[in-house]
Amino acid sequence: MLEPRRERQILIVLTLMSFTNILDFMIMMPLASHLIREFGITTSEFGLLVSAYAFAAAASSLLMASIADRFDRKRALLLVYVGLIVGTLGCALAPTYAALLVARTVAGLFGGVQGSIAFSIVGDMVPDQRRGRAMGLVMLSFSLSAVLGVPLSIYVAGHGGWHIPFFALAAACCVLFVVALRLIPSMRGHIRSGAPVSLWQGYAELFRVPNHWWAFATTALLTLSGMMVIPYIAPSRVANEGMTELQLSLFYLVGGAITLFTRPLFGNMADRYSRAKVYFWLVLLSIIPMVLITHTLGVSLPLQLGVSALFFIFVSGRFVPSTALVSSASSPQLRGRLMSFNSAVQNLFTGLAALIGGAMLTSTGSGPITGYEAVGYLSCIIALASAWAAFKVRAVS
């Protein structure tokens, strides 16, 4: 058991590492207009950039799911973080759409498993009665990405080009790598003695437990619901609502800033009450902003910012109790595999959702994007299905 001060320091470092990882993924969405203009691509081709990262992340997570519990968690975390740095730097240097597509694939291969390793570290390090709060802290990385990373990236891209945010992100990753190397202790308590578990045996042990299937179903449906909508928020705000880059920065800033307060609150609620019930109520409340954000409202900027706040609070807030619920669905010996495969499920359905959402949308060059309303309605139905699946998950540890 680590002393409280050291535990907090590690949680902060994991949060910052996850911040850079999530920003590496999120940064593509507000840069959509830049990339579409730069490379002359369609909305669907932009969706492929999002999906390439997600599918690569799903593939690496599938492999990690069977071997994650064989290795020191610290070494695994640092190894994949180096790969993320290489992929991010490749994005910064990409001269063509094809090169950027390859770089996004590399970033996905490594970035996709960083989160699962971080959550496994939290699961091993923090007792269950405080785990929801700890998960909520690490998941503040999403809020930090929206508050700091995305608005700053939009501003920098508007003044220095879309390459610059990736250069800055790669530099920040290098600094965090050094800090993590010095601060995070070796974590080998989960490793079994004797011969290592084979690839197929690892999967067999994981899938033998029905509880794990319900956990994966919850994640799959939750991800599909959110990621059909999220990648196309920025281009729809610009094309349909006529937002400028400054207004788009404010849109993400306001939405992300308020989640700095609501995500820890949801984490505390997940510890105090039933995680499935907390998730259910967040799903119900998320339907309102999900419908609003997928419709062209034609309202003033303050009202648009209000919609952004509601969306970030409830739609992104759903991930806090769901992640805590999934992490408690397994024993410590299988948690690394569970979280890695859960990451694979999340990434796979992120890619599928981006493709489905993009296929349902129609863009007429400089004209409005149509079909977003149907995406929103379908997303709400899928979200309700995920709440039903969450009630089937039983907490083990």
| Residue 240: CATH number of its domain | 1.20.1250.20
Q: What is the predicted pLDDT for the residue at 192?
A: 57
In a domain, 12, yes or no: yes
| d(C-alpha 330, C-alpha 338), whole Å | 7
What residue type is 279 in one-letter code? Y
Alpha carbon 280 to its chain centroid, in Å, reads 20
| d(C-alpha 27, C-alpha 323), whole Å | 22
Q: What is the predicted pLDDT for the residue at 359?
A: 87
Number of domains in the chain: 1
| d(C-alpha 371, C-alpha 363), whole Å | 9
Range of the domain at 305: 4-186+199-390
Query: Contact 330/396 with Cβ under 8 angstroms?
Result: yes
In a domain, 358, yes or no: yes
Beta-carbon contacts of 161 under 8 Å, excluding residues fewer than 6 positions away, are: none
In a domain, 217, yes or no: yes
Positions of the chain with pLDDT lower than 50, given as ranges: none
Dump pLDDT digits (tens) for 311-367.
989 998 898 888 888 888 887 777 777 877 887 888 889 889 988 998 898 876 667
Q: Which residues pair with 139 in a beta bridge?
A: none
| d(C-alpha 344, C-alpha 391), whole Å | 22
Task: Say if residue 158 is exposed, middle or buried (CB neighbours under 10 Å; 0-12, 13-18, 19+).
Answer: middle
Q: What is the predicted pLDDT for the residue at 199?
A: 62
> Which CA distances in Å does 209 have to 203, 213, 331?
11, 7, 11
In a domain, 397, yes or no: no
Query: Contact 22/145 with Cβ under 8 angstroms?
Result: yes
Q: What is the predicted pLDDT for the residue at 99?
A: 94
In a domain, 192, yes or no: no
Query: Contact 280/392 with Cβ under 8 angstroms?
Result: no
In a domain, 194, yes or no: no
In a domain, 340, yes or no: yes
